[in-house]
């Protein structure tokens, strides 16, 4: 298995509390890592550090064996990050939202159109692609954000509470997509309070337990 993301002695402190202490995490192709811990234990902080949004940590990050600072552009090209806030504009339609995300990944015109429509179809928004997002329900808006997972090929998904506002059927689907992605060689790092029911080995990382 190819080594993707690696943290070396990662520490993170907020307001005098040490949230992450000497974390040595290795994420390989085909692995699912679930970050666990009570509220306020630093799950989101850890994911923001791993994605490169936050620089408030000590220790080192490596991507495919190279120091993160050197290969940041390559890392971003292979990363899909789904945070708490979805990045979905309420006044735009799902199609317009996703076309922008596709363009940020360098996809345009017919390729992007086709990909966006497939992605929307996959998350169950077929028929809603031209309705403004503020007319959609919270769960449907979340699905627009989830559709980003299927734009372009990434090697790593970082998902922060991906199951929020998703219905029971959707949860099952998302679990299936995550397992399917891991089986095809993708790596997933996620946080959730929901008990994952996935047909794939899950590595658990416990925060705030010590």
Partner 1 sequence: MAAYQPVGIGFVATLRRDLLLAFRRRSDFFNPLAFFLIVCSLFPMGVGPDPKQLAILAPGIMWVVALLACLLSSDTLFRSDFDDGSLELMLLSPSSLYLQVLAKTLAHWLLTGFPLTILSPLLALLLQLPASGTVAMMLAMAVGTASLSFIGAIGAGLTVGLRKGGLLLSLIILPLYVPVLIFGVGTVQAAVDGFNYLGPLAVLGALLALAATLAPLAIAASVRISVDN
Residue 68 CB, shortest distance to partner 1, in Å, is 13
Residue 4 CB, shortest distance to partner 1, in Å, is 13
Distance CA 158, CA 69 (A): 19
CB proximity list for 176: less than 8 A, separation 6 or greater: none
Q: Which of 90, 114, 138, 206 binds partner 1 (CB under 8 A)?
A: 90
Backbone φ and ψ of 183, nearest 5°: -65, -30
Choose the stretch contacting partner 1; rule: CB under 8 A; options: 33-41, 53-61, 166-174, 176-184: 53-61
198 scored as a contact of partner 1 (CB under 8 A): no
Distance CA 114, CA 2 (A): 31
Residue 35 · residue 45 · CB < 8 Å: no
* Cα dihedral: 139, 143, 145, 150 (round 10): 170
3 scored as a contact of partner 1 (CB under 8 A): no
88 scored as a contact of partner 1 (CB under 8 A): yes
51 scored as a contact of partner 1 (CB under 8 A): yes
Distance CA 205, CA 123 (A): 28
Choose the stretch contacting partner 1; rule: CB under 8 A; options: 68-76, 118-126, 165-173, 202-210: 68-76
Nearer to partner 1, 79 or 136 (CB): 79
């Amino acid at each position: 298995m190819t080594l993707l993301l690696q943290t070396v002695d990662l520490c993170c402190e907020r307001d005098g509390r040490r949230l992450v202490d000497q974390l040595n995490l290795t994420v390989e192709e085909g692995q699912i890592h679930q970050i666990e811990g009570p509220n306020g234990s630093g799950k989101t902080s850890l994911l923001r550090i791993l994605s490169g949004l936050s620089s408030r940590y000590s220790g080192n990050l490596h991507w495919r064996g190279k120091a993160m600072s050197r290969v940041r552009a390559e890392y971003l090209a292979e990363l899909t990050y789904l945070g708490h806030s979805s990045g979905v504009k309420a006044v735009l339609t799902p199609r317009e939202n996703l076309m922008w995300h596709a363009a940020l990944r360098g996809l345009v015109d017919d390729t992007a159109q086709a990909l966006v429509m497939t992605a929307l179809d996959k998350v169950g928004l077929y028929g809603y692609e031209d309705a403004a997002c503020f007319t959609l329900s919270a769960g449907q808006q979340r699905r627009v954000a989830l559709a980003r997972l299927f734009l372009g090929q990434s090697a790593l998904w970082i998902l922060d509470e991906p199951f929020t506002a998703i219905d029971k059927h959707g949860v099952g689907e998302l679990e299936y997509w995550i397992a399917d992605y891991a089986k095809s060689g993708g790596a997933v790092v996620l946080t959730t309070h929901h008990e994952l029911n996935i047909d794939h080995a899950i590595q658990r990382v416990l925060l705030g337990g010590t």
